[in-house]
Amino acid sequence: MLIRALKSREMILALAIAILIGLIAMQFPGFIAPDNLADAFNDTSPLIILALGQMIVILTRCIDLSVAANLALTGMLVAMINTQFPALPIPVLITIAIAAGTVMGAINGLLTWKLDIPPIVVTLGTMTIYRGLIFLLSEGQWINAHEMSDSFKALPRHEFLSLPLLSWIAIAITLAFIVLVARTPLGRAFYAVGGNPNAAVYAGIDVGRTQFLAFTLCGALAGLTGYLWVSRYAVAYVDIAGGFELDVVAACVIGGISIAGGVGTVIGAFLGAIFLGVIKNALPVIGISPFAQLAISGAAIIIAVAFNARSSRRKGRLILKHEEAVG
């Protein structure tokens, strides 16, 4: 049992992160100071939240490339509402952010479910549409720090037990996802749909509806992150989080979420995001050329994925087996 646990992908990834942090500390000892690690974790929190949303989408054999655009559009929306109505309480704005994100996720889900368009095509399209909408909404203008209300910017920075609220939100969502995935019928359905859609139908699971729900949940999280992102960096413009959807997918893949669907764990996605976050936060402080930085983050992703591909030859946790295997 212990040996199996040690051999699990999550454990190996956790070890890889520990080794990585060790190597960085040899170059820059200040990196392992608790304050700095907390900073790095806080910085990685948006990636964690988005990676969890992306994880359930990937589990159902789909992919959501529109998460960063969804985030940017929601962020712009709440920033604009905040500048127009500074008195509006922040919980209302967060509700609006989640609602807007949910709607955008649901659009992805509906197009995939009802029109049967491949998810990569749907979300590639909506990604561009959402980015375009930001431009139409803002007319290319920036929303700047001094235009946002103080309470709008303060929320993710609010400290509780010496960690900012942004970090706590990421932790809370991770815990909620562990329960969702392991203990609810919907969570099990995500695996079943991705593991074997045909068998899932026989088990009474509506494949399209499950995928729709995965997209919707992913959209809701992207919406929430939209508010958090804009308030944290105190600026909203068309290009925020440009290309971030690729980081999110990379975090999932590093975390051992199989692109073929049906395989992956919440802890895996969480650690995958942490792994990328550590690299992103360490590169600026260890003083290497910006060109080498790009190559290093790329190499790290490929090594992690190659490693995963090797270890995933062992069959993952398919809870509904292939017909051939059964009979």
Partner 1 sequence: MKLLKKVLVTAAVTALMTTTAQAETKRIALVVKALGIGFFEAAAKGGEEAAGEIGDVELIYTGPTDTTAEGQIEVINSLIAQKVDAIAVSANDQDALVPALKKAMQRGIKVISWDSGVAADGRMLHLNPSSNALIGNMIVKLAADHLPDGGDVAVLSASATATNQNIWIEEMNKVTDQYNGINVVATVYGDDLADKSYREAEGLMKSHADLKAIIAPTSVGIVAAAQAVSDAGKAGEINVTGLGLPSEMAGHIESGASKSFAIWNPIDLGYSAVMLANSLIDGIEAAPGAEIPMGRMGTLTLDDNSEGAMADPFVYDASNIDDFKDIF
Q: DSSP for 150-217?
A: HHHHHGGG-EETTEEHHHHHHHHHHHHHHHHHHHSHHHHHHHHHHH-HHHHHHTT--HHHHHHHHHHH
Closest contact distance (angstroms) between CB of 280 and partner 1 is: 6
Q: DSSP for 115-159?
A: S---HHHHHHHHHHHHHHHHHHHHTT--B-GGGS-HHHHHGGG-E
118 counts as binding partner 1 under rule CB under 8 A: no
Beta bridge partners of 143: 236
Closest contact distance (angstroms) between CB of 200 and partner 1 is: 38
DSSP annotation of 31 reads G
Closest contact distance (angstroms) between CB of 128 and partner 1 is: 9
Q: Tell me, residue by residue from 4 to 43, as one string, x for binding to partner 1 by CB under 8 A and - for no binding.
A: ------------------------x-x-----x--x---x
Beta bridge partners of 159: 164
What is the C-alpha R_g of the chain? 20
For the segment 132-191, give every residue that binds partner 1 (CB under 8 A). Answer: 134-135, 138-142, 144-147, 157
**Distance from C-alpha of 215 to C-alpha of 106, rounded to nearest angstrom:** 6
Matching residue, tokens 């559009």: 73
284 counts as binding partner 1 under rule CB under 8 A: yes
Closest contact distance (angstroms) between CB of 77 and partner 1 is: 15
Instruction: Decide if 166 contacts 228 (C-beta within 8 A).
Output: yes
DSSP annotation of 236 reads B
For the segment 231-260, give every residue that binds partner 1 (CB under 8 A). Answer: 233-235, 237-242, 244
For the segment 42-81, give every residue that binds partner 1 (CB under 8 A). Answer: 43
280 counts as binding partner 1 under rule CB under 8 A: yes
Segment interacting with partner 1, rule: CB under 8 A, options 80-88, 265-273, 279-287, 308-316: 279-287
Q: Count of residues binding partner 1 (CB under 8 A)?
A: 38
Closest contact distance (angstroms) between CB of 148 and partner 1 is: 8
Q: Which is nearer to partner 1, 61 or 232 (CB)?
A: 232
DSSP 3-state of 291? helix
Closest contact distance (angstroms) between CB of 237 and partner 1 is: 6
Contacts with partner 1 by CB under 8 A lie at 28, 30, 36, 39, 43, 131, 134-135, 138-142, 144-147, 157, 229, 233-235, 237-242, 244, 280-281, 283-285, 287, 289-291
